[in-house]
Amino acid sequence: MQMHHTGEMSGRPRRFLAALVVPVVAVCAVAVPSAGAQQPACPGVTVDATVTAPSIPTGSWTTEATCVPPEAVYEVEVLGYRLVGGMGVARYTDGHTGHVAFLSAKVESGRSLSLVGVEDAATGQVTWAYGDGALVEQPGVRQMDGQGEAATIASPDAPAGPAEPAQVQLSIDGTGTDLASAQGAVPDQLRVLVDQAVAALTS
């Protein structure tokens, strides 16, 4: 799954998400099992995601109850924002399969900024979408719904297409692994990347 951010996004939290999304998802991808390896009971978090954009063949791609294992989803508080990000293997509601990747920040009560990547593994098309909008928090569940921009990479060797309007919906059921206390190669790499992004934004 190719990773490109979705264009110019003003403001510190937007720049922070853009700086982190490529390396965070690339590192998490190392830990993502194939769809056949997932267990019926998800040990990590379950994710519902919808990206709506003109360049998606059916207008939108939706995945429901995608299991993201604990070694592929992490959360931490940085610069006053609660971040959660990860990657899973999804079967979309139209029947195709591919990865779904996400990075979301709670920036204030009732508001989140989210980046979601959706993929068709058969064609190689990846659409990244950014949304700024409402955050609804219930016990164990976070729901984000925002408007923003998207950009599509039509095939593995193609450049990112132009920015286009998008709608992003993301629901996360469960809590990711605490990055601050997690042990192992993946969280170690993620902590380095977060530190680098913070340094770049505060220098």
Domain boundaries, the chain: 12-202
Q: Which range has the worst mean pLDDT, 3-17, 48-62, 82-96? A: 3-17
Segment 69-111, tens digit of pLDDT: 998 999 999 888 899 998 889 999 999 999 999 989 998 999 9
Token couple for 79: 């610069």
Distance between CA atoms of residues 4 and 22, nearest Å: 7
Task: Tell me the sheet residues that pair with 87.
Answer: 101
Sequence-ordered strand ranges (E) for the chain: 45-52, 60-68, 73-78, 81-91, 97-108, 111-120, 125-138, 141-153, 164-173, 177-178
State in Å, rounded, how far the first CA of the chain is from the last one. Answer: 31
Q: In this structure, are residues 89 and 97 in contact, taking their beta carbons and an 8 Å threshold?
A: yes
Between strands 73-78 and 177-178, the pairing is parallel
Segment 144-198, tens digit of pLDDT: 999 999 989 888 888 888 999 999 999 999 999 999 999 988 888 888 878 877 7
Classify the phi-psi angles of 137: left when phi > 0, otherwise alpha if psi is within -120 to 50, otherwise beta. beta
Average model confidence (pLDDT) across the chain: 84
- The pTM for the full model equals 0.84
Token couple for 194: 């977060």
